[in-house]
Amino acid sequence: MESEIENAPARDVEKQIPSQIENSAAAAVAAPSAEHALSPAVDPAVEARLLRKLDKRIPTLLAFLYLLAYLDRSNIGNAEIAGMEEDLNLVGNRYSWLLTIFYISYCVFEFQALMWKVLKPHRWASIVVFAWGVIASCQAATKSWQGMMALRFLMGIFEAGFGPGVPYLLSFFYRRRELGLRCGLFLSAAPLASTFAGALAYGITSGHPRLASWRVLFLVEGLPSCVAAILPWFFLPDDPTSARFLTEEEKEVARTRSLQQTGEVERAKGIVWKDIGLTLMDAKAWFTALMYFSCNVSFSSLPVFLPTIIADMGFTDIHAQGLTAPPYFISFLVTIASTYVADRLEQRGYAVAFLSLIGAIGYVLLATCENVGARYFGVFLAASGVFPAIANILPWVLNNQGSDTRRGMGIILLNLVGQCGPFLGTQIFPSSGKPRYIEGQSICAAFMFFTTLLALGLRFLLKWENGRLDKKYAAPDAQSSAQDEKTIHLGGEDNYGANFSNGIRFSISDLAPPTARIMPVVFQDRAGISLYDAQFSHSDGMRGPIPDQIIDQVVARLVHFKITCDDFCVSEENIHVLATEATRTAPNSAEFRTRIKDATGWEVRMLSKEEEGRIGALGVASSSTSIAGLAMDLGGGSTQITWVIETDGVVKISPKGSFSFPYGAAALGRRLEQAREQGEVAEKQLKEEMMSNFREAYRSLEVPDSLLNAADANGGFDLYLCGGGFRGWGYLLMSQARVRPYPIPIINGYRASRESFHDTESLQDIASNPDAKVFGVSKRRASQIPAVAFLVNVMMEALPAVKSIQFCQGGVREGFLFDRLPAEVRLQDPLLAATAPYASPSRDAIRDLLLSALPERPSSLLSRHPPASFSYNLVTALADLLYAHANVPRESRSAAALHSTTTGVLSCVNSLSHVDRAILALILPERWGADFAPTEQLFQDRLLQLVSVEEAWWCLYLGRIAALVGDVYPSGRVPPESQWRVRLQTSWDTIAKKKERRDVLRVQVILKESVSTTVLKDSLQDTAERIEKVGKKKNWIKPTDSESEDGYGVRVAVDIAVAP
């Protein structure tokens, strides 16, 4: 059951299993085609505009067509009391059989709901609308009960191809949390049709035409359907990306929404037969089907018998037609309102239960009361319960099924079972039951009560499943109690994801809150297989198919990974196998992918070269915060370039996507080797080709003015690099950095100047030295360094505006998963997402105390002030981590804190610069006294060299302030304001010493008298002395490359005062 509920809102236990279900995967030994383009993050303003346009056209058009269908289906009730009963000799149960035969064919042909996915929706809609319109009109010409039976049977066939599949079609356009209201808008056409059906019938049947009134009724209400059949052909889009009324920007957002929900862009195609079987075995699908059956007993009988029921209250036939309108109009309003409220409250089960109860009470009044007013009020309640309940059941079944095929099969099952209800509903009002139809009304009431119980039962089942899976996959206790009581919304739909990517790499990522933004990996593995190199392993040295033995190895690794996915409870439908250049261009690519599917059951999704670049750009965005610049990805077979701007979680890239060239590290290495064998001319031609391609790509990228202006102001672009080829180059740069050995083993966030990045000769010398072992550079990567150096030389000449380079860990996996995260998650600061699990109960109060120790204005003499890197979020993260190492043995606390950003709790944060890692690693040990062993002292010294002298000094100062706060609040719990224990105040002062005026930072520690114990005061006095020591001139930070004796520092004076 774990894989069946996707992307439900956080508070909705009815539509989602918590932060453990939806499983995602990215992979690249095979991948999707061009139509599956993965888009940048969604701009909320564009998304709102998109929804408005969709709402104006899709639900309204479909509702209008359903209104016509409902008129054509149910006008037989009006026709009966307008003379058809006498003209066609409808004696005995003949009229009831006219109703039943419609639902027999309607039920038998329910499978047509999947035709929306097989045929283009606009074509299928036009066909069925025209067909039932012709049949409805032909009813006017029938002369016998047998002829009418045949026409009603045919009408059931074609209406079964429309109504049951429309909610399924709507799921192509809307997210789950948006679907309820849109289904309500569509289904509200039923009571709306019934509203004016009575009035229309009243107008038609009140005259005295030559043609029988009931025949005119069928013509007037049937012919419009024939005419309306042209509307979907021209105005119903097959999916959002084919909608002519949307701009390209809106289509891009629609593509992203579709990918975030299902991993696909084009939804109206293909059926996965396995998913059909899974749906049939799903208890939730049967619950909703039984609810639909139960409601349909009442739903089917109400429109066709209501005129007769009202007439038997004592009204004339004509007045009975008119009096059916008010209850239906109220039902129309309740249908829309209830689906809207259910969406907002995210409580579909309670809505269905409440509405069913209302309907049941209405039928009880109809069965038990003799007073006309009370019975007519019962009609209002019945109509206001039955129609809206069904409008909420349909989106509920769609919410609780995973793939498009499962949603389609869920709708079919819903209707196969549910449409059996009308068989009963049309038989429980025999003529012998007149005038009050007590038995029929009682049966309807019983079934509506039964629907109430089923709705509550399904809600209980979902809540139980959520609770069971919470125990199995629950987030750490550090999460808030509110999160413990509700399911977690992941918007991007995946909590665990399997990733098989370029290299070949396998990983499983946990996207459960609160750490979803950093996409932590809970399992990873790598197969030392190069699919690109394998294609050149033939004896003639020419490119050929992927060898069988390599395919066998890949398949074997995937089969093993499938077992691992089962261990982590990754559902099959959420494992994504993505392939890039090597698979895309392999001569036997189709055979390779078929072998994988046969062995694992997994479809390989092929990334086009444009998509590969786009995902790489999104991977870059996932690896940093507020990025703006050019982005490149270097794989084995290709390299891509685009521009990227990420602001507040919204990622924008070039409207042209990215430009991809066959200059991957392995591919370029082969071409470069061949060119050098041919001589300098060939090598020069290769360089000129690459230069021309990169320059043309840069011109075609349409770099926005904001990015160009920022580059002008800052002296050039930032260039963000990802991909294995570039990472190898980055590790070489790190090995030659000023600080050696380099203390941070993580490539992500490492920055290099243009000059050092372009020092290709030095780096090639290191890579070519067989005795030189460089961390992060395998023998295979080292063999590709000449090709990467060649590419770097071309890049620096073709892109002269590049100022600095930042290396990113982001790649196919990161880009794929980041694209699926909801906007509110992408908006989060990754650092705070990573530290949130360690936060104390009073994190905000602790942060405010720390901030109060940082002066807001510069000193008067030397303008000393905290550096800009000491941001509000960084101090918040420090507050989160203040107690993270409290359970570590005392002798190891400082060391654990020192390594927290490199090998400890923050090593998985994928967006920290190396400077930020060093800052946090320098602050945190001071909180525990900075008691280091000699080896740790060396590590601290190297970290100090990664930051500026200003940053280094303020790290030591703030760390010791943190120690003072920890002394006062050892548990991290800060009492209410009225029970405060300590307050900090800072101010600048100047003192004269040795005929020289100097800046002094005065820190006043105000201790509340009620907690001012001797022990606490002594402890604070020791910590205050440590704070003052950091301000002594001998402890100031001196630059390692400077002869200056002073260095950087600030004198500090700490005063401890006691206040009442």
* The pLDDT of residue 547 is above 50: yes
pLDDT band at 618 (very low <50, low <70, confident <90, very high): confident
Q: Give dist(CA 32, CA 63) in Å, integer.
A: 35
pLDDT at position 13 is 38
The stretch 74-97 carries a mean pLDDT of: 83
Q: pTM above the 0.75 mark?
A: no
782: tokens are 């080292």
Cα–Cα dist 885/583, whole Å: 46
State mean pLDDT over 430-455: 81
Identify the residue with better confidence: 499 or 272.
272
Residue 430's pLDDT is what?
67
Average pLDDT over residues 830-857: 93
Which pLDDT score is estimated for 779?
84
Give pLDDT, residue 25.
32
Using CA atoms, how far apart are residues 465 and 284, in angstroms rounded to an integer? 11
pLDDT at 367 over 70: yes
Q: Find the helix packing angle between 372-399 and 404-418, rounded to 10°.
A: 150
8 Å CB contact between 641 and 658: yes
Using 50, 70 and 90 to split pLDDT, how confident is the model at 30? Answer: very low
The Cα 188–Cα 135 span in angstroms is 24
Give start and end residues of each alpha helix (H) in 346-437.
Answer: 348-368, 372-399, 404-418, 421-425
Residue among 37, 22, 54, 67 nearest 179 (CA): 54
Q: Name the pLDDT band for 21 (thresholds 50, 70, 90).
A: very low
Nearest to 557 by CA among 592, 523, 600: 600
What was the pLDDT predicted at 461? Answer: 82
Position with higher pLDDT, 327 vs 276: 327
d(CA 129, CA 236): 13
Reference 582, options 601, 606, 559, 558; nearest CA is: 606
Give residue 14's pLDDT.
39
Averaged pLDDT, 221-238: 91
When pLDDT is averaged across residues 841-866 and rounded to a whole number, the result is: 94
According to the model, what pLDDT value does residue 435 have? Answer: 65
Q: What's the pLDDT score for residue 109?
A: 86
796 Rama class: left (phi>0) / alpha (psi -120 to 50) / beta? alpha
**Is the pLDDT assigned to residue 803 strictly greater than 80?**
yes
Count of other CB atoms within 10 angstroms of residue 436 = 17
Out of 457-466, 622-631, 878-887, 956-965, least confident range: 457-466
User: Is 342 a residue whose pLDDT tops 70?
Assistant: yes
Q: What local confidence, expressed as pLDDT, does residue 1042 receive?
A: 56
Three-state SS for 647? strand
The continuous run of DSSP H or E covering 525 comes out as: strand 521-526
Over residues 87-102, the pLDDT tens digits come to 888 888 888 888 888 8
Mean pLDDT throughout 428-443? 74
In this predicted structure, what is the pLDDT of residue 502? 43
The arithmetic mean of pLDDT across residues 212-218, rounded, is 86
For 944-993, the pLDDT digits (tens) are: 999 999 999 999 999 999 999 999 999 999 988 777 899 999 999 998 87
Q: What's the pLDDT band for 536 if we cut at 50, 70, 90?
A: confident
Write out pLDDT tens, residues 98-134: 888 888 888 888 778 778 877 889 999 999 999 999 9
User: How far separated are the first and last CA of the chain, in Å rounded?
Assistant: 60
Of the listed ranges 367-376, 581-590, 657-666, the one predicted with least confidence: 367-376
pLDDT score at 990: 92
Instruction: Decide if pLDDT at 51 tops 80.
Output: yes
The residue count of the chain comes to 1060
When pLDDT is cut at 50, 70 and 90, the band that residue 575 belongs to is: confident
Asked if pLDDT for residue 567 goes beyond 60, the answer is yes
- Name the residue with higher pLDDT: 1040 or 766: 766
- What SS3 class is residue 407? helix
Q: What would the pLDDT profile of 390-403 be if each residue is shown by its tens digit?
A: 888 877 776 665 55
- Residue whose structure tokens are 């269905």: 352
382-391, 731-740, 867-876: the lowest-pLDDT one: 382-391
Segment among 256-260, 554-558, 690-694 with least mean pLDDT: 256-260
- Average pLDDT of the segment spanning 1038-1046: 68
| CB of 720 closer than 8 Å to CB of 806 | yes
How do strand 604-606 and strand 628-634 relate by DSSP bridges? unpaired
Q: Residues of the chain with pLDDT > 70: what percent? A: 83
What pLDDT does 306 receive?
63
Quick check: 928 pLDDT over 90?
yes
Q: Which two tokens stand for residue 681?
A: 């001319």
User: Is cis: bond before 435, omega within 30 of 0?
Assistant: yes
pLDDT digits (tens, 9 = 90+) for 981-1016: 999 999 999 988 777 889 999 999 999 888 888 888
Residues ≥6 apart with Cβ < 8 Å to 751: 804, 805, 806, 807, 913, 914
Predicted confidence band of residue 573 (pLDDT cuts 50, 70, 90): confident
Query: What share of the chain has pLDDT > 90, as a percent?
Result: 35
Q: Using alpha carbons, select from 676, 612, 672, 618 the residue that is nearest to residue 638.
A: 612
CA torsion sign, 211 to 215 to 221 to 226?
Answer: negative
Whether the CB-CB separation of 1 and 402 falls below 8 Å is answered with no
**What's residue 296's pLDDT?**
80
Give the tokens for residue 374: 């009370």
pLDDT at 675 over 70: yes
Mean pLDDT computed over 250-263: 65
Distance from C-alpha of 637 to C-alpha of 783, rounded to nearest angstrom: 15
CA distance 315 to 329: 20
The rounded distance, in Å, linking the Cα atoms of 989 and 1005 is 16
Mean pLDDT of 443-457: 90
CB count within 10 Å of CB 656 equals 13
Report the pLDDT value the prediction gives residue 1045, as an integer from 0 to 100: 63
Q: What structural domains does the chain harbor?
A: 42-461 (1.20.1250.20), 496-607 (3.30.420.40), 611-823 (3.30.420.150), 830-1059 (1.10.3210.10)
**Better pLDDT: 541 or 367:** 367
pLDDT of residue 403: 55
Average pLDDT along the chain: 81
